[in-house]
Structure formats: C-alpha cells, structure tokens
Amino acid sequence: MDIKDFKKISDVLWELPKTFRKDMRAAARVYATDEMLKDMMKDRSLQQLVNTATLPGIVGSAMVMPDAHEGYGFPIGGVVATKFPDGIISPGGVGYDINCGVRLIKTEMHFDDLRPEAESLGRQLFHAVPSGVGRGGTLKLGIGEMDKVLKLGAKWMVREGYGTGDDLEHIESGGCLSNADCDVVSDHAKKRGADQLGTMGAGNHFVEVDRVESVFDEETARAFGIFEGQIVVLIHMGSRGLGHQIATDHIRTVLKAMPKYGITLPDNELACVPLSSNEGTDYYNAMAAGANFAWANRQMITHEVRRAWETVFGTGAGRLDILYDVAHNMAKIENHSVGGIVQKLIVHRKGATRSFGPGHPDIPSEFREVGQPVLIPGSMGTASYILAGTEKSMLESFGSCCHGAGRKMSRHAALKEVEGRELREQLDLSGIHIESGSMRGLAEEAPLAYKDVDEVCEVVERAGIARKVARLKPVIVVKG
C-alpha cells in the first residue's frame, strides 16, 4: 500500500477505492493529513481498514479517524456500518473493553481556587478510586445484584443512591441499553466483574482533573455550561474484566458459527455473523449488558469523585454535574441517511465516538441547538478537548468522529524511552500532579507514546465532522 493508491477527496479526507482489492465490498476512507496517513502505514491499521471493507452487508465506506492505530481485527478509530437486520455484527468491531468511554463532570470552581488543594485532592481521588489490574472496589455484587446492573446499568446505580435522575439525562442512551440480556453473559464474566464497580483498572484509564484553558465557541460553551478557568473532571474507563470476558466468550462462539453462514474473512479477528442469527443476537444482547456495566462503573466512580470533592472542599463547594458521557467501543442500531434514503443500520465504533449534530432526538434537549458534546482525551501531559457534533458528521461518517489522541508507540517501546519516576517529576515541574500505583504503567502511558491531540482534533474540525468548543489542560492525573 502506498499513498499514491489513495484518492484525495479533501485536504484531510482520503479514499481507497473498492477496486484496490478484489474482496472489498466498499471503499475505505481515512481522515488524516498527508503526514498522518504516511504514519498510519507504519503499522497494520490501514491493512485492517481494508479488511473491514470486505465485511458482508457493509454500507457506505469503511473508515478510520485521525487517531487510528492497529487493533484487534478492526483498527482502533474504525467505523463500519452494516445493513439491519441481516448485515453482520462483529465483536472485534467493538473490542474487548465494551463501552470504554469518557465522562466529563463540571464543577463551579475556578482553577485559582483549586490550586492550593491540588495535591490533597489528588491523594483523595487516588484512595477513593481503586486502580490497577484486577483490583476490586468496595461494592461487592451478588449474582442477583449483578443481573440488575447488567440489565439496568446506570439506572440501577441511581436507584441505589449513587446519583440522580439528572445524571441519567446526560449519559448516552440514558446509561442503559434496553436489549441487555444477563442470561447470555457467562457466570465467569459475572464473577470477574463482581467487585469491579467503581474501579479504574490499568492501561490508559484515568480520573483527571482539568482546567478549561481556552474556549473556541462561546455560544456552544454557554450551552454546555463551560467557561475559561473552570475546573472539570474527566473519567475514562469501561467494563473491566466483565467486558473482556464477554468478548472472549462470544468471539469463540462466533468463530465456530461463521461456516454455517458461509462467511469467509481475510482475518479471523474480524469474526462475525449476521445480527439476525442466534449467535449475532446473543452477542449483541451480551454486549449491551457489558455496556450497561461500564455505565454503572462510571456512575459509581462519579459518586466516589463527588465524595472526595466534598472531603477536600466541604459541602459548600458547589455542584458536580455531568456534562455528558460518551461511549467509544460499541455497536448500535441507528438511523442514518445513505444516498438520501434513511436506513436502519448496525454502526460499529471501535475507538470512535458518536458525534450527533444539532436537532438529533437522541441528545439532551439543552444541546439540540448546538449538537452533542464530544469528549476527546489526550495524553496526561498535553491536553484534552470538548467538541460538538455536526450535521456533516451525520451525512458523512455515520455521526462519528475520533475518540482520543491515539497511540503512535507501543507500550513496550514507550518503556524503552522513558522511566516512570522521571516522567512523574517532569510532569510535576510542569504543574501536573500525578498519582499512580505503578511507575511502569505510568511510563507506558507517557505523552510521547501518543499522537498530537491538537492535530487530531484539528483534522476532525477541518473535515467538518466535529467542531472545537474548548481545550482542557490537566492539573491532577490519577492512574493505575
């Protein structure tokens, strides 16, 4: 594959025609600058993109966002839509961390008021939110309670006193997918998740306290309740061991079932079956249960953040309200216009986030005039962004955009370049307080391991599939 194989549609959109390879059923599109596209050729992400263009029932184009990098089957940053109900559904198009996502909590506090208590708040958050591989939390679920969480998601958490109804209004899908079926989730998966609500895990997951450094769109920022100097909290994690086990269980089942449906693929990691099949329906309903668990997890962590905030600042420090919670590992049934005709589709977003435009009925009413909040975390030493969805994203990218900065270096490679304690000292000197239980894990997530989040967000804005609202700078980072 060479850059000459791509047709340049705009300055940040490229297309590989479906004639590039005989088995392609659709074209493949890449949102990227020239340099980004060249960099993507250094791993298998573009080969994986081409492979996704071979999937049965694909509609429109397979595409990747500017944060793309190599993943399991599908590239991270990939978006693929298939026909409903007989198009395929693929666990690899969702990933192992089902409904890994980002939540932003707004505070009423200005950075100047937080600064004297930054270290104290960092320590309090680190103790409040358990982190690390396999680490459990304070809430232990019996099987009956677990089934309720899998069925009701964040709704169950609110019923149990871990939030309010207003929280649910500001979560994608209200924090609950109604098709969830706990009976197609294995006992092993349930046991793995039994003590993991309210926990962070490891890897690129975090709780981060940020200040709003810049506002680009005053009107949309007002609608979002965002102002310069404001302190906000970002939460990034997903369905933990439960989601991983759901993926493991159903990938095995789907692989065995493919011959029955006459499906052959260039990569077994793309394992898929028709959504209308028993195996497809079971996976979709198990995935929904995993998604509900992830929303419950972020809801529990929100509760823990609020408690930590009150411990440090007292009861008079103001409200902590959710701006929005967005998923970026999900397959969802949605309506989209294709060739001027509205169709029901199965939209896979693997390391890509929803970016619904103004007027869409699935976003909170107070955002309908400006579009859905889109949350893009960067690396712990750089910046994150609040964007807004656009009408163009609905027409061009199935209402999708990037989900983060995107890795450009493996964890192993990052360990060769940086030492955790030294990195923590460097970040501390730049005004970023770090709390981490693992210096190795900190090094693996070093800023140098990630693409430039400013460039990534610039690309999606230039493409018109999201627009910048505000830029955030980290103040406190809590990691596993």
Which residues are part of the catalytic machinery? 403
In 3D, which of 103, 129, 135, 160 has the Cα closest to residue 374? 103
Give 336-394 as a DSSP string.
EEETTEEEEEEEEEES-EE---TT-TTS-GGGTTT--EEEE---TTS-EEEEEE-HHHH
Element (H, E) at 477: strand 466-479
Burial 391-415 (b: 16+ CB within 10 A, else e): bbbbbbbbbbbbbbbbbbbebeebb
CB of 479 closer than 8 Å to CB of 208: no
In the block, residue with structure tokens 């088995």: 23
Q: Across-strand partners of 82?
A: 58, 346
Q: How far apart are CA 239 and CA 97, in angstroms?
A: 6
Q: How far apart are CA 6 and CA 454, in angstroms?
A: 24
In 3D, which of 405, 438, 407 has the Cα closest to residue 423? 438
∠ CA 474-478-480, nearest 5°, is 140
Q: How far apart are CA 345 and CA 363, in angstroms?
A: 18
In the block, residue with structure tokens 């109604």: 178
∠ CA 402-404-407, nearest 5°, is 110
**What is the token pair recorded at 76?**
């991270």
The shares of helix, strand and coil residues in the chain, as percent rounded to the nearest 5, are: 40, 25, 35
CB of 463 closer than 8 Å to CB of 12: yes
Handedness of CA 271, 275, 277, 279 (dihedral sign): positive
In 3D, which of 374, 378, 394 has the Cα closest to residue 477? 378
Handedness of CA 178, 182, 184, 190 (dihedral sign): positive
**What is the token pair recorded at 466?**
């999201």
∠ CA 191-197-201, nearest 5°, is 90
Q: How far apart are CA 213 and CA 221, in angstroms?
A: 13
